[in-house]
Protein backbone atom coordinates (compact mmCIF):
# COMPACT_ATOMS: atom_id res chain seq x y z
CA UNK A 1 0.00 0.00 0.00
CA UNK A 2 1.06 3.56 -0.54
CA UNK A 3 1.37 5.93 2.40
CA UNK A 4 -1.98 7.56 1.59
CA UNK A 5 -3.79 4.22 1.16
CA UNK A 6 -2.37 2.90 4.41
CA UNK A 7 -3.36 6.06 6.28
CA UNK A 8 -6.92 5.85 4.92
CA UNK A 9 -7.15 2.17 5.85
CA UNK A 10 -5.99 2.94 9.39
CA UNK A 11 -8.63 5.66 9.68
CA UNK A 12 -11.26 3.16 8.49
CA UNK A 13 -10.15 0.58 11.07
CA UNK A 14 -10.20 3.22 13.80
CA UNK A 15 -13.80 4.11 12.89
CA UNK A 16 -14.64 0.42 13.13
CA UNK A 17 -12.80 0.24 16.47
CA UNK A 18 -10.37 -2.42 15.26
CA UNK A 19 -6.69 -2.68 16.29
CA UNK A 20 -4.28 -0.70 14.12
CA UNK A 21 -0.92 -0.93 15.92
CA UNK A 22 0.73 -3.14 13.30
CA UNK A 23 -0.39 -0.92 10.43
CA UNK A 24 0.64 2.24 12.28
CA UNK A 25 4.14 0.83 12.76
CA UNK A 26 4.28 0.08 9.03
CA UNK A 27 3.09 3.62 8.28
CA UNK A 28 5.88 5.21 10.29
CA UNK A 29 8.46 2.77 8.94
CA UNK A 30 7.70 3.96 5.41
CA UNK A 31 9.77 7.05 6.24
CA UNK A 32 12.00 5.76 9.05
CA UNK A 33 13.59 2.90 7.09
CA UNK A 34 14.65 5.03 4.09
CA UNK A 35 15.93 7.69 6.51
CA UNK A 36 18.24 5.03 7.96
CA UNK A 37 20.34 5.21 4.79
CA UNK A 38 21.15 8.83 5.63
CA UNK A 39 22.03 7.83 9.18
CA UNK A 40 24.38 5.13 7.92
CA UNK A 41 25.89 7.63 5.49
CA UNK A 42 26.77 9.69 8.56
CA UNK A 43 28.53 6.69 10.09
CA UNK A 44 30.53 5.65 7.02
CA UNK A 45 33.09 8.49 6.72
CA UNK A 46 34.44 8.26 10.28
CA UNK A 47 34.82 4.51 9.92
CA UNK A 48 36.49 4.88 6.53
CA UNK A 49 39.06 7.49 7.57
CA UNK A 50 39.92 5.97 10.92
CA UNK A 51 43.53 4.98 11.21
CA UNK A 52 43.90 1.36 12.15
CA UNK A 53 46.94 -0.18 13.68
CA UNK A 54 45.74 -3.64 12.78
CA UNK A 55 43.68 -4.80 9.88
CA UNK A 56 41.78 -2.36 7.68
CA UNK A 57 38.75 -4.63 7.99
CA UNK A 58 37.98 -3.31 11.46
CA UNK A 59 35.88 -0.44 10.03
CA UNK A 60 33.96 -2.91 7.86
CA UNK A 61 33.37 -5.16 10.85
CA UNK A 62 32.07 -2.25 12.92
CA UNK A 63 29.77 -1.19 10.08
CA UNK A 64 28.34 -4.71 9.77
CA UNK A 65 27.88 -4.90 13.53
CA UNK A 66 26.05 -1.53 13.57
CA UNK A 67 23.83 -2.58 10.67
CA UNK A 68 22.93 -5.86 12.36
CA UNK A 69 22.27 -4.06 15.65
CA UNK A 70 20.01 -1.56 13.86
CA UNK A 71 18.08 -4.43 12.27
CA UNK A 72 17.61 -6.30 15.56
CA UNK A 73 16.54 -3.19 17.49
CA UNK A 74 14.16 -2.14 14.71
CA UNK A 75 12.43 -5.52 14.61
CA UNK A 76 12.26 -5.79 18.40
CA UNK A 77 10.70 -2.35 18.77
CA UNK A 78 8.21 -3.08 15.98
CA UNK A 79 7.06 -6.18 17.85
CA UNK A 80 6.81 -4.26 21.12
CA UNK A 81 4.73 -1.55 19.41
CA UNK A 82 2.46 -4.11 17.75
CA UNK A 83 1.71 -5.47 21.21
CA UNK A 84 0.75 -1.97 22.33
CA UNK A 85 3.61 -1.34 24.77
CA UNK A 86 5.25 1.44 22.75
CA UNK A 87 3.82 4.15 20.47
CA UNK A 88 4.33 3.24 16.78
CA UNK A 89 6.14 6.51 16.08
CA UNK A 90 8.86 5.73 18.62
CA UNK A 91 9.12 2.12 17.51
CA UNK A 92 9.92 3.25 13.98
CA UNK A 93 12.20 6.19 14.77
CA UNK A 94 14.17 5.10 17.88
CA UNK A 95 16.59 2.90 15.90
CA UNK A 96 17.34 5.86 13.60
CA UNK A 97 17.80 8.19 16.56
CA UNK A 98 20.10 5.75 18.38
CA UNK A 99 22.15 5.00 15.28
CA UNK A 100 22.31 8.70 14.46
CA UNK A 101 23.66 9.39 17.94
CA UNK A 102 26.38 6.79 17.36
CA UNK A 103 27.15 8.45 14.02
CA UNK A 104 27.41 11.90 15.56
CA UNK A 105 29.66 10.48 18.26
CA UNK A 106 31.92 8.93 15.64
CA UNK A 107 32.07 12.19 13.65
CA UNK A 108 32.95 14.20 16.75
CA UNK A 109 35.55 11.64 17.77
CA UNK A 110 37.07 11.58 14.26
CA UNK A 111 37.76 15.33 14.39
Q: Which of 10-14, 20-24, 96-100, 103-107 has the lowest mean pLDDT?
A: 103-107
- Inside any domain, residue 4: no
- Inside any domain, residue 1: no
Full domain range(s) for residue 33 = 21-110
- Inside any domain, residue 85: yes
- Inside any domain, residue 60: yes
- Inside any domain, residue 16: no
- Inside any domain, residue 11: no
What is the residue-averaged pLDDT of the chain?
88
Helix (H) or strand (E) holding 22: helix 21-49
Task: List, for residues 31-60, the tens digit of each pLDDT value.
Answer: 999 999 999 998 888 877 766 565 667 777
In eight-state DSSP terms, residue 2 is -
Stronger pLDDT, 15 or 111, i.e. the higher one: 15
- Inside any domain, residue 83: yes
Predicted local distance difference test score (pLDDT) of residue 106: 84
- Give the predicted TM-score (pTM) of the model: 0.81
Among 25, 2, 3, which residue's Cα sits nearest to residue 92?
25
Instruction: Tell me how many domains the chain contains.
Output: 1
Residue 93 has pLDDT above 70, yes or no: yes
- Inside any domain, residue 3: no
Amino acid sequence: MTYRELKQYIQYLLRERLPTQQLEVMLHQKFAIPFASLVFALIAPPLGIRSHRGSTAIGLGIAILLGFTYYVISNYLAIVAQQGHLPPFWAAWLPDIATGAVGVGLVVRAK
